[in-house]
Structure 1
Amino acid sequence: MKKILVLFQFILCFTVFSQTNEKKVILLDVDTNQPVDGAVVLVLKTKQVLMTNTEGTVVFELKGGSNLKVTHSSYLPIIIKWASLNQEENIFYLKSKLNTLDDIVITSKNPHEIVKDLVENSTKTLNVPARLKVYSREFFKLNGDYTYFNDGLINFQLYKEQKKVKSILLLEQNRSFGLVDDLVFSDLLGYNLNSMMEKYYVFSVLRPLLDEKIRKKYTFVVKVNALNEGYNDIIATPIPVDKTTDLLDDFKIVYDVKRKLIIEITAVISPEALVAVDEKTAKGAKNIIRSKFKTNYRLDLGNYYLVSSNEEINYSVNVGNEIKNIEILNNLITTNFNIQNFTYNDSQVFKDKTLFNAKNSILTDYWNFSGLTPTAKELEIINKISN
C-alpha cells in the first residue's frame, strides 16, 4: 500500500511540474495607461523571445516556470517574477524614458563617420553562422481591403559565402488565405525570404547615409537619453527642398556607445518628403504613399543577432485603365537563437522566395504562441479573409 501511495505521489508531482502553463502578459504605459507596442519579452529559462502587439500583449506556453525580462528602447527595463503571473491576464506597467530631455552629444567625429563605423562593427559582430527560428507574417491590402494573408514558422541557417550572408530555409508550418490580383502579384514588395537576412545583416537600409553624395543631403544630430546613458541616438533628417527626384527616409539609429553596436533602426518617409517629389503618371509607374522600416537587434551573453523587423509600404500603381492602391504589412520576430547548425536533407530546404506559393502545413495553432500574438482586430481580418 505504501509503495502504491509513493508511486501515486511521484506521478502527481511529475504531472504538476511537467504540465504546460499558458500565460498572458499585458504591458501598459504607467503614465498614459496605453498599451506598449514592440516591447521585447525574454523568457529567461528558455531564451524564447516574444514581442508585444499593438494591444501590448504576449501569450506563451512554458513547462515549469521562468522569470521574464522586458526591454524597450523607450522604456525602462523590468523583470517579471514567475510567481506574479497568477492571473488570466497579467498586467504590468512600464515607465517611459521619454519624460526627460535628451542631451545633445558633443563629438569631434562626424556623425556619418559614426554611422560608417557602426555598420562595419555591427556587421562584423553579428553571429554568423547561426540559426534563427523565425515567425513571419504578412498582410496584403488592395484598394483599401485586406485580400491576402500568410504566416509561418521558418528556420534560417545563416552562413557566409564570399563575405555575403546567405541562408538555408526550413519551413516548419505555414498558412495562407485569400487571393492576390494577378496584375500586382509580380510587383509585390513582400519578404524575399532568400535575401531578407542578408539585407538585415549588412544594414542595407543605411546605404543612403554611407553614400558620399546622398549623405550631404542630410542633417545629423547625435543625442543621449539621461535615463539610458549607455545608448545614443543618431537622427538623420533630409534637408528640406521644394522639389526633388530623391525620396529620402528620415532615420533614427539607436546604438550601444560602449560596444559600438546598432540596437535599433527606424526609417520613415515623411509627408514633407512625399510632397517634394512629383507624382509619376506613366503606365506601370509607382508612387509611394507611406513607407516604414524598423529593425531591432539583441546583444545577449556575447551573442548579437536580429530580434525583429517591421516593414510597411503603401503605394499606388498605374495599370493602364486604373490606379491601384497596394499596401503590404510585414512582421518578423526571432523566437529562438542558436549558434549550432541544424541537420537537414536537401529535400527539406524551402527554395521559394516567398510564402505565397507554399502549400498550407498546419500542425498546431503556432500563431498564438509564435512570439507575436495576433490582436483581436487582426484575428477578425484573418478570419474574414480565410472564409
Structure 2
Amino acid sequence: MKHIFFLLIFTITQFAISQERKTGIIKDADTKEPLEFVSVYIDNGPDSNYTGSISNGEGEFSIMDNGSKVTFSYLGYEEKEVELQDGFNEIFLKPKDFVLDEVVISDVSAEDYLKSIIKAADNKIDKNTLFKSYCREIVKVNDEYTKFSDGLVNYYVKKGNGKSVITLPQHRAFKSDKISEEDFASIDNINSAFTLDEYVKNAYNYKFIKKLLKDKNYDFVRKIKKEEGGLEYEYIEVSPKSDVEELLFKGYVVIDPKTGDVLELKFYTSSDHLKYSKLQNVMLIMKVKVNSLLIWTKFRVIEDKYVLSYNQKSVGMYLKFGKYVDDNFNFSSDLFVYAFENDVEIPDDGYDNRTIYEAGTSFTENFWENYNAFPLNNEEEAFIESVSK
C-alpha cells in the first residue's frame, strides 16, 4: 500500500513538472515591435480539441507547456516552431515576402463574392458544439478603469440557429472606488455596451459585414496574395467612399481560397470619417456620440473543424444623460476559445444576465492563469490590485 502511495505521489509530481508555465513576448523580427493577438499552438495530436493560446495587446503570452514544440502563427508572418525555454522567452516572427499582391479580375464583383462566402459560412457549425472560453469585460470612464470582470464561460451552441446556452463555472468582478457615490447613482448600472450571449453568436453570423454589404457608401476590392513558396490567401478590402460625410468604417476579410473559410476579419472607425460622428438621441434623456469602434475576429481550422479562436469588440463613446453622466466611456470585451467539443448535450438552463460583471466573484483557482488565457497588461493588473485591497 505504501508503494502505491509513493507511486501516486511520484506520478502527480511528474505530471506537474511536465506541465510548466512558459511566458514571453512576441515581436516583429524587423521592427522589434510587439505583435498583438498572435496565435500560440501546441500540437496535442489529431484528436485534440485544444485551440492553443494567444498573446495579449502588448505581445505577451503565457502557456502551459508540456515540452512539445510550440507554433506561433500570425497573418502576414512566417510561422515559427520552437521549444520554449525556462524563464522569459523572446519570440521574433519574420514578415513574409509576397511576390504577388494584386486585384482579382472576375465577372463576380467583390461584393457578390463576399456575400457568397458569408452565406456559405453561416452553415459552418453543423453540430451542437461547446466552446470553452476565457472572457473579460472592461469599462473605462474618461480613460480610467472603473470595472473589470472576467470568467470561464462555456458556450453551448445549438445546431442550425446558432443560439447559445451559457454557463459560468468561475468568474470575478471588480469596481473602482474612486468614483463618488453620487456618480455611481447614475453610472453603476452601465456594465458593458455588449451582451455576453452575443460574443460567439455575432462572431459566426457576420452581422457587421452584412450591414456594410447593404450600405452603398463602401467600396469592396478583392485581392490575392501569394508567397514565394506558392501559398496564397485572398482578402477583401472594405473602405469608405471619400466623398461621404458620415461616420464610416474600414477593414478587411481574409479568406482561404481553397475552402472559402473566413480566417480573420477586422473593422474599425475610419480616421478620415470620425469627424462626422454626431451626438444622437438614443432615448428621451440620453445622447450618444461614437468616438471609436473595433471588431476583430479570428478563426482556425483544426482537423477539418472550423473553430472561432478569438473575438474582440470595443467601442468608445461620449454619453450624456440625467444629472450626472457627461463622460467619455470605453467598453471592451475579449473572448478567447481555449477548447471545444462537438456533439454535446445542450443544458436546459444557463446564465441569463447580460454581462459577466453581474455574476460577481466566485472561483476556486486562478482560472485567468490556468487556461492559457492571454496575460493581463500592466494597467489591468494595477487596477485589480488596487481595488482588491
User: Normalization by structure 1: what TM-score?
Assistant: 0.86
Contact 1:155 1:170 in 2 (8 A): yes
1:88 is matched with: 87
Residue 9 to residue 274, structure 1, CA distance change in 2 (3 Å): closer
Contact 1:139-1:150 within 8 A present in 2 as well: yes
- Worse overlay, 371-380 or 8-17: 8-17
Identify the residue that residue 14 of structure 2 maps to in structure 1. 16
Kept in 1, the 8 Å contact 2:172–2:357? The answer is no
Q: 2:173 aligns with which of 168, 176, 179?
A: 176
Q: Distance in 1 between matches of 2:244 and 2:348?
A: 56
Contact 2:24 2:91 in 1 (8 A): yes
2:222 maps to amino acid:
V
Cα contact 1:220–1:236 (8 A) shared by 2: yes
Question: 1:31 and 1:319, CA in 2 relative to 1: closer, same or farther beyond 3 A?
Answer: same
Task: Name 1:197's counterpart in structure 2.
Answer: 200
CA contact (8 A) 2:191 2:355 kept: no
- Which residue of structure 1 lines up, in the alignment, with residue 60 of structure 2? 57
Find 1:243's aligned residue among 231, 242, 245: 245
- Using the TM superposition, give the Cα deviation of residue 186 of structure 1 relative to its aligned residue in structure 2, in angstroms: 5.4
Cα deviation, residue 116, structure 1:
0.6
Kept in 2: contact 1:97–1:225 (CA 8 A): no
Question: Hey, what does 1:307 align to over in structure 2?
Answer: 309
The aligned residue for residue 286 of structure 1 is: 288
Measured at CA, do residues 277 and 358 of structure 1 come closer, stay the same or move farther in structure 2, by a change above 3 Å?
closer
Q: Evaluate the alpha carbon distance shift between residue 8 and residue 131 of structure 1 in structure 2; reply closer, same or farther with a 3 A threshold.
A: closer
**Is residue 331 from structure 1 mapped to residue 328 from structure 2 by the alignment?**
no
Partner of 2:259: 259
Q: Which amino acid aligns with 2:261?
A: L
Using a 3 Å threshold, how does the CA distance of structure 1 residues 369 and 57 change in structure 2: closer, same or farther? farther
Match of 2:125 in 1: 126
Q: Partner amino acid for 2:337?
A: T
Q: By how many angstroms is 1:113 displaced?
A: 0.6
In structure 1, how many angstroms separate the alpha carbons of the residues matched to 2:336 and 2:285?
Answer: 37
**What is the deviation of 1:190?**
3.6
How many Å apart are 1:121 and its aligned residue?
Answer: 1.1
**Residue aligned with 2:380, SS:** helix
Bigger drift between 267-276 and 308-317 goes to 267-276
In the aligned structure 2, how far is the partner of 1:98 from the partner of 1:285? 48
Query: How far apart are the structure 2 equivalents of 1:386 and 1:368?
Result: 17
Give the drift of 1:176.
Answer: 0.3
**8 Å contact kept, 1:50–1:372:** yes
Letter in 1 for 2:201: E
Letter in 2 for 1:252: Y
Runs of at least 5 residues in structure 1 that lack an aligned partner in the other structure: none
- 116-125 vs 86-95, which moves further: 86-95
Q: Structure 1: how far apart are the matches of 2:68 and 2:232?
A: 27
Superposed CA offset, 1:179-212 (max 9, x none): 594534555544312233222221111122332x
1:117 paired residue number = 116
Match of 2:33 in 1: 34
Question: Which AA in structure 2 matches 1:358?
Answer: A
Match of 2:145 in 1: 146
Question: Which position in structure 1 is the counterpart of 2:164?
Answer: 167
CA distance in 1, matches of 2:278, 2:15: 64
Residue type at the aligned position of 2:41: L
- The amino acid across from 2:91 in the alignment is F
- Give the aligned length: 371
Counterpart of 1:126 in 2: which secondary structure?
A: coil
Distance 1:182 1:258, change over 3 A: farther
Distance 2:142 2:15 in 1: 51
Corresponding residue for residue 220 of structure 2: 220
**Cα distance, 1:376 vs structure 2:** 2.6
CA distance in 1, matches of 2:348, 2:260: 39
1:384 corresponds to: 386
Residue 209 of structure 2 is matched in structure 1 by: 206
Deviation digits for residues 314-345 of structure 1 (CA, Å, limit 9, x no counterpart): 10012255621111121110011111415757
Q: Return the alpha-carbon distance in structure 1 between the equivalents of residues 55 and 172 of structure 2.
A: 22
Cα distance between partner residues in 2 of 1:166 and 1:61: 32
Q: Distance in 1 between matches of 2:187 and 2:10?
A: 58
Structure-2-length-normalised TM-score = 0.86
CA distance in 1, matches of 2:9, 2:189: 57
Write the distance in 1 (CA, Å) between the matches of 2:277 and 2:238: 19
Query: What's the CA shift string for 1:201-259, capped at 9, x where partnerless?
Result: 21111122332xx1x22112122223274311101111123534xx3321310111111
Distance between the aligned counterparts of 1:6 and 1:274, measured in 2?
Answer: 68
Amino acid at match of 2:362: S
Q: How far does the alpha carbon of each residue in 1:116-153 deviate from its partner, in whole angstroms, 9 at most, with x for none?
A: 11111111123542110011011111122111100000
Sort the Cα spacing of 1:353 and 1:7 in 2 relative to 1 into closer, same or farther, 3 A: closer
Deviation string 1:151-180 (CA, Å, 9 cap, x unpaired) is 0001111103xx421111111110000059
The runs of 5 or more residues in structure 2 that have no matched partner are none
Structure 1 residues 140 and 14: alpha-carbon distance in aligned structure 2, compared to 1, 3 A threshold: closer
Distance 1:256 1:90 in 2: 31
Distance 1:323 1:15 in 2: 56
